[in-house]
C-alpha cells in the first residue's frame, strides 16, 4: 500500500508567478485535502476534493484553486504568488466514508516565494 506522495519537495518562485503542486493519494483513497503550514504554525485547511469537485473550502482567496483527477490525484494551483504564500503545503488523502478518521498526510512541498 503506497502512501501519499507530493511533488516537488521544494520549490522557489518569484512574487507574481504561478505555481502548481501535485499530490498522489494513498491507494484506495478517493478524497484529497490540501493544507498550508506556515513556519512555526499548525496546518490551515485550504480545500478538499471529492469526486473531482471541491467539497469545502477554508479562508483562502480564489487565487488558490485545485483539481482532482479520475485517478483521485490532485493539483493545487496558486496564482499571483505573494511573499506570505511561502509555506509547507500538505496534501492529505482519505476514504470518503471514513472521512476524518482516516487521513494520511504526505510529506509536503516547501514553497518559497522571493
Partner 1 sequence: GESVGLHLPTLSVQEGDNSIINCAYSNSASDYFIWYKQESGKGPQFIIDIRSNMDKRQGQRVTVLLNKTVKHLSLQIAATQPGDSAVYFCAENSGGSNYKLTFGKGTLLTVNP
Cell of 49: 476534493
Residue 101 in the binding site for partner 1 (CB under 8 A): yes
- Report 26-45 residues binding partner 1 (CB under 8 A): 31, 33, 35, 40-45
CB of 36 to partner 1, least distance (A): 11
* Residue 103 to residue 78: CA distance in whole angstroms: 23
List Cβ neighbours of 35 (8 Å cut-off, separation of 6 or more): 43, 44, 45, 46, 89, 90, 91, 92
What binding mask, one character per residue, do residues 48-87 give for partner 1 by CB under 8 A, x or -? x------xx-x-----------------------------
Amino acid at each position: 500500500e503506497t502512501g501519499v506522495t507530493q511533488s516537488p519537495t521544494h520549490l522557489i518562485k518569484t512574487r507574481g508567478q504561478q505555481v502548481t503542486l501535485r499530490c498522489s493519494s494513498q491507494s484506495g483513497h478517493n478524497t484529497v485535502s490540501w493544507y498550508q503550514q506556515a513556519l512555526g504554525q499548525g496546518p490551515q485547511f485550504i480545500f478538499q476534493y471529492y469526486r473531482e469537485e471541491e467539497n469545502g473550502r477554508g479562508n483562502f482567496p480564489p487565487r488558490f484553486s485545485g483539481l482532482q483527477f479520475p485517478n483521485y490525484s490532485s493539483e493545487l494551483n496558486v496564482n499571483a504568488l505573494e511573499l506570505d504564500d511561502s509555506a509547507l503545503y500538505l496534501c492529505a488523502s482519505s476514504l470518503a466514508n471514513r472521512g476524518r478518521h482516516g487521513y494520511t498526510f504526505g510529506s509536503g512541498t516547501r514553497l518559497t516565494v522571493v
